[in-house]
Chains A and B, each alone.
Chain A
């Protein structure tokens, strides 16, 4: 008799074959300029249950450029494993042909050149087409949104997330979980959730005062004669990584024992399949999958990783569906006798020039944008350089933002948060006001100006580095390293907290940072209540207007060792 584990592994192999043929096919076709919608959507139906996963849209309604990371360092057990493999090594690992559409979608290599061939990605109207097509084949499919949906654009900021709520309501997901949603504040989240026509799940969202569950932890769906439990896991470090004062009523956390209790509860209720819709981040989910028993599928989010094949941990499969509407995952499952017997998976890349926009969704998006169109599309400047953010260190968008902050706020040193959202711009692109917002939009964008001692600056860098490079994933918060302007440093990622960061020096003069001396520091996205200053997008806009054309020199201010 074949055991469940053997079956899963056999299925994984089968799935890999399907995945490779699917990917290889459209890769070759694209090389012949014949990338078609049919090829992108091609999928041999499998089993009886279908999950559709999209996550970390960050309010990107329109197609975008999004350069995948050049730096995504893994530490501890995660070292050298996906998603901590980038560029050509990633292409080799997954048999992607360099220069192919799939290599363009999944790696940073030759991004500018390949972008000219393959074009922008994403767009919620294209996503709608893909979702409708999957639902046509599998009417019982569950559509699950991993959160970071309502935040990230000028229109979402101006409408308090309403544009995204309207668009997602039209897409009709079955459930979502949350992270940046909370930065609109408790009252706004509650207002939206009250009227949401689908489940807003978070098993780990607790009442801060009573330490009791505060939101619906899971929902059980009856689909294709199968009972499917979807458990929500919101971003665990909400009150630490984002301003606690905006949602003081709630406590979050990984709460592994709570997850196990909820899994046990739904198993005892007799469900056939347990799905965790998670905003933990990939490494946290990987650890949780090994420690919490009884989860069949974890739909991961938060760390913006796109992995073309499921990652198997014990008998749990992890699905990583990228960010910004660039990908949609389809996962078909064979669920029988209360067990997941096998799966087939495809990470569907949303090539904006290949997939036909859904007309209804396109009209809705344009209607949402119409009241702000002139503001959004006003040209502020042009860029000669590729502007991107994603990656463990620096990134040209943040170089530009740090330059703006230092110059407009007259500071020696600028700090810019290592968030993973923010699409790219290609050399030669106009920089519109909307583009600036895509890289800066938030409800706490005030640019502070203060003084910090060298000792404090060192402590800040050490603290953030440990959020990224602690070898225990449960201590990682899932952002990238804080971006620094005007000051360089060396980092040994293999060291423990307190000894990773050395050689702090001012970049203008090369002068070493003195622990006892004070420096003027300006930055944005402070989690402290009452932070004052102009909004970051206004600061960046003023700077770009003065420059006219943005051209950035390569940044060599951070030296990384211990890889």
Chain B
């Protein structure tokens, strides 16, 4: 078989994709990720706001933002994704605000969880349910 340059490129891209996409079989669960982040502390509520659409307009790119004044780190989890870890944001002492916004892909209707670690080591949590729907029939 003769391998053309194009084929080689595709093979290469496939390799990159495999390398960057975490394999769901080995993905850490929400419990494991939370435990790693909290160090076992029980999350409280309040002092953290998660903003996400109730129903995703496009499950492939869902805008989510988290605001936790005074946080040193915020972890974002998509509980229903094959790989629940989305991102962890760290805030240094010079950070003007402790707020993060990103767009995430949601496989299905699920809870998006935000955990924030405060300077004193305490943890607060907020959850938003985002529905991913087939659509149509509105009226």
Contact = CB atoms under 8 A, between A and B. Distances in A.
Interface of A: 180, 208, 211, 235, 237, 239-242, 244, 251-254, 257, 417-421, 459-460, 463-464, 466-467, 472, 474-475, 477-479, 482, 497, 525-527
B57 A252 contact: yes
Contacts of B54: 253-254, 472, 474-475
A525 B57 contact: no
Mostly, the B contact residues are loop
Nearest to A477: B138
A251 B109 CA distance: 19
Contacts of B139: 180, 241, 417-421, 478-479
Contact of A240 (B51, B63, B109, B138): B138
B135 A251 contact: no
**Residue from B51, B63, B137 having most chain A Cβ neighbours under 10 A:** B137
A478 B138 contact: yes
B131 A460 contact: no
B45 interface: no
Nearest to A422: B139
B99 to A, nearest CB: 13
Given A211-B63, A475-B131, A253 B137 contact: no
Given A211-B63, A257-B51, A244 B136 contact: no
Q: Is the interface of A mostly helix, strand, loop or mixed?
A: loop
B8 interface: no
Interface string B60-98: 000100000000000000000000000000000000000
B23 interface: no
Nearest to A463: B134
21 contacts: A235-B138, A237-B55, A239-B58, A241-B135, A241-B136, A241-B138, A242-B138, A244-B57, A254-B53, A257-B51, A419-B137, A419-B138, A420-B139, A421-B139, A464-B134, A464-B137, A467-B137, A477-B137, A479-B138, A482-B137, A497-B109
Contact of A460 (B53, B63, B134): B134
Interface in B91-139: 109, 131, 133-139
B42 to A, nearest CB: 26
A463 B51 CA distance: 23
Interface of B: 51, 53-58, 63, 109, 131, 133-139
A109 to B, nearest CB: 25
Contacts of A420: 139
A457 to B, nearest CB: 12
A553 B133 CA distance: 34
Contacts of B109: 497
Contacts, number: 73
Contacts of B134: 459-460, 463-464
A242 B135 CA distance: 8
Lowest 6 A-B CB distances belong to which pairs? A241-B138, A419-B139, A239-B57, A417-B137, A463-B134, A474-B54
Given A239-B57, A244-B58, A526 B51 contact: no
A199 to B, nearest CB: 24
Nearest to B130: A475
B137 A251 contact: no
Contacts of A239: 57-58
A525 B55 contact: no
Contacts of B57: 208, 239-240, 244, 251-253
A382 B109 CA distance: 46
A526 B138 contact: no
Contacts of A459: 134
Contact of A477 (B51, B55, B56, B63): B55
Contacts of A253: 53-54, 57
Nearest to B109: A497
Nearest to B54: A474
Contacts of A472: 54
Contacts of B51: 257
A237 B134 CA distance: 12
Contacts of B58: 239, 244
Contacts of B53: 253-254
B63 A463 contact: no
Given A479-B138, A497-B109, 5 more contacts: A240-B133, A241-B137, A460-B134, A478-B139, A526-B136
Nearest to A462: B134
Contact of A525 (B56, B133, B136): B136
Contacts of A474: 54
Contacts of A418: 137, 139
A479 B55 contact: no
Nearest to B56: A240
A236 to B, nearest CB: 8
Nearest to A468: B137
A419 B51 CA distance: 29
A76 to B, nearest CB: 15
B64 to A, nearest CB: 11
Nearest to A498: B109
Contacts of A421: 139
B127 to A, nearest CB: 13
A61 to B, nearest CB: 20
A162 to B, nearest CB: 22
Contacts of A417: 136-137, 139
Nearest to A303: B139
Nearest to A258: B51
A373 to B, nearest CB: 28
A235 B55 CA distance: 13
Given A239-B57, A475-B55, A525 B137 contact: yes
Task: Tell me which of A180, A237, A254 has the highest count of chain B C-beta atoms within 10 A of its own C-beta.
Answer: A237
A313 to B, nearest CB: 19
Contacts of B56: 240
A244 B58 CA distance: 9
A369 to B, nearest CB: 24
